[in-house]
Amino acid sequence: MPPFLAVEDLTKSFGGLRAVDRCSLEVREGTITGLIGPNGAGKTTLFNLLTGFHRPDGGRVRFRGDDITGLPAHKVFRRGICRTFQIPREFKDLSVLENLMVVAPDQAGERLWVPWLQPGRVRRDETRLRERAMVVLEQVGLARLAGEPAWTLSGGQKKLLELARTLMAEPALLMLDEPGAGVNPTQMKELTRYIQWLAAERGVTILLIEHDMDLVMAICNPVIVLSEGRPLAEGPPDIIRKDPRVLSAYLGARHA
Amino acid sequence: MTEYLIALATIVGIQVLLTLGLNFHYGITGLVNFGHVAFYALGAYASALLTLAGVPFLVAMGAGVGVAVLASLLLGTATLRLGEDYFAILTLGFSEFVRLLLLNARELTRGALGIPGIPRPWRGLGGVPDHIMYLGLVLIAVGVAFALCEVLARSPLGRTLRAIRDDEQAAMALGKDVLRFRLTSLGWGAGLAAVAGSLWAHYVTYVVPDQFTPEITFYTWMAMIIGGPGSTRGALWGTAILVAVLEGTRFAKDVMPMIDEPRLAALRQVAIGLGLILMTVYVRKLGGRSRPRVAPATVSG
Ligand SMILES: Nc1ncnc2c1ncn2[C@@H]1O[C@H](COP(=O)(O)OP(=O)(O)OP(=O)(O)O)[C@@H](O)[C@H]1O
Ligand SMILES: [Mg+2]
């Protein structure tokens, strides 16, 4: 069986800076894989390369055996990969509920003539979609805010909204860029539980970037440490925590 | 006076169609279209030339719509990938290109001489006076266009377009083929502009490239901004206010007989600018805003 997600020698430079530098790694199906590393290590850039937001300068990405290198973002999504953004990108003038409803792929009512010619069909689809979105909003604790425009949400709520949106897509691989940033401690516990539930009960493979070490240590296995654009270490969290190379990378010391 | 009001209503109706189209482009989809007049001109000329060649009015109008939609799709395919700034500039360039084309393709368009004698459809039908008949036709077009726009704005398509407007990258990450959706919006708005163009040509019965300067685009933007981008209803009264301001200043001569003509013309421009600024600010204060705070409810049972 081919690996679930395989990254081979992926490279991306911005001017003279190699943000991702011949990076190779694998994500195994069914895991919650943590991606950590100091600021500027290239974690977000790696996400952008995997999801069609940057074109790699070199290297390959394979997902379930298919080459998805350089595929445009909406086609990556079609393959079952969904990502969130480090800085929330909510649809600000849409309501929280609408933010979720947008996500359903291939809605009949997205075609120009269907809302005119088949209003009944659109109405039925919408009712079903709205129910499904409300269930997800309940799960992430945003149901109360369903009717509010998304721009009124707090930073932490926007992170939850980002997560909630991806769940409407039922992805095979969920890539979360710092899902816990700005989320308060109580919500953080729920978020942690929820991510674990997704992996365990819904069979979603999760790749997550996080600076909150408590979250990473609690739910991620394995943990991949990225430094200067490539993996420095990979392993179970308690081993990674004690790895001297990891410590020195975080402290900014040059590793050998 | 009634004649004048009927003429005014007809012009407002035609302008409303333009505003509805631009509102779809910018207000709902976030496309900065500075060349709206191009689609208007294509609709007007295609419809005029075809009816003069003996094609029935509605068929000619349909062909005008086809030409404009096709042009918008070609323009969009070529320019939408380049980013927002380029799109804005290139649409403006395109509208000037269309105008110059109409000016120079003399064999077809008679250039600066324009095309006179464009027939009004269904003249004298049922004994109804011509201008009233035509106003009725325009109002029907506006009614249908308004209803279709309103349905779309509240549909899943409208929701996805608004999502793309708010955050293109997020929409892409969530599986939306952004280019395809933008082209859909562009085509729909261009089609409405072409209907407006056709109605204009058969109303004034004479078209000339000078009628299709970027000024038309500018006024359409003003109407949309006054009404509030993203609001279909706003396109109606935004246009009405715009035409009222533009026309109202014509009567300045009656109130201020001491000022000579050229000064009055200049003053009129100042008054229009000022009026539009005040109107926009004042309307916003009243609770109108650039985008509806709570997005319109989606089609619901
Ligand atoms: N679009 C871009 N243009 C130019 N440089 C970029 C771009 N995106 C990222 N970089 C650079 O690439 C490097 C890696 O950035 P990246 O955002 O991937 O880091 P990160 O690991 O996600 O950091 P953080 O933990 O702070 O989010 C940085 O030096 C950054 O300045
Ligand atoms: Mg980052």
pLDDT at B296: 43
Give the tens place of pLDDT for each residue, B97-144: 999 999 888 888 888 888 888 888 877 677 778 888 889 999 999 999
Predicted pLDDT at B40: 96
Chain B residues touching A94 at Cβ < 8 A: 159, 162-163, 166, 295
Establish if B73 touches chain A: CB-CB under 8 angstroms. no
User: A36 CB less than 6 Å from ligand 1?
Assistant: no
Q: Is residue B60 part of a domain?
A: yes
* Inter-CA distances, B125 with A174, B110, B129, Å: 65, 31, 8
**Residue A39 beta carbon below 6 angstroms from any ligand 1 atom:** yes
Range of the domain at B129: 2-212
Q: Tell me, yes or no, whether B272 lies in a domain.
A: no
Whole-angstrom Cα distance, residue A39 to residue A53? 20
pLDDT in tens, B40-61: 999 999 999 999 998 999 999 9
* Domain presence at residue B251: no
Interface A-B, measured as beta-carbon pairs within 8 A, has a size of: 127
Would residue B225 count as lying in a domain? Answer: no
Strands (E), A73-218: 81-83, 173-177, 205-209
pLDDT value at residue B255: 66
pLDDT at B180: 95
Task: Tell whether B171 is within 8 A of chain A (Cβ).
Answer: yes
pLDDT for B121 equals 83
Please report whether residue B256 resides in a domain. no
Q: Is residue B227 part of a domain?
A: no
Q: Which residue has the higher pLDDT, B285 or B215?
A: B215
pTM: 0.88
pLDDT of chain A along its 256 residues, tens only? 788 999 999 999 998 888 889 999 999 999 999 999 888 889 999 999 999 999 999 999 999 989 999 899 999 999 999 999 999 999 999 999 999 999 999 898 999 999 999 999 999 999 999 999 999 999 888 999 999 999 999 888 898 999 999 999 889 999 999 988 888 888 888 888 889 999 998 899 999 999 888 888 889 989 999 988 888 888 888 888 888 887 777 766 554 4
Q: Of A72-81, B214-223, B281-290, where does mean pLDDT reach its minimum? A: B281-290
Q: If you measure from the C-alpha of residue A250 to the centroid of ligand 2, how many angstroms do you get, rounded to a whole number?
A: 15
Contact between B295 and A95 using a beta-carbon 8 Å cutoff: yes
User: From the CB of A17, is ligand 1 less than 6 Å away?
Assistant: yes
Give the ipTM of the model, two decimals please: 0.90
pLDDT for A49 equals 94
B299: nearest CA partner in chain A: A123
Query: What's the pLDDT score for residue B284?
Result: 52
Cα angle: A135, vertex A138, A140; to 5 degrees = 115
Q: State the total domains in chain B.
A: 1
In a domain, B45, yes or no: yes
Does residue B68 register a pLDDT over 80?
yes
Establish whether residue A86 lines the binding site of ligand 1, counting it when its CB lies within 6 angstroms of any ligand atom.
yes
Residue B238 in any domain: the answer is: no
What is the C-alpha to C-alpha distance for residues B79 and A86, in angstroms, rounded to an integer? Answer: 30
Please give the Cα distance from B270 to A153 (Å, whole number).
Answer: 42
Contact state of B188 with A112 under an 8 Å Cβ cutoff: yes
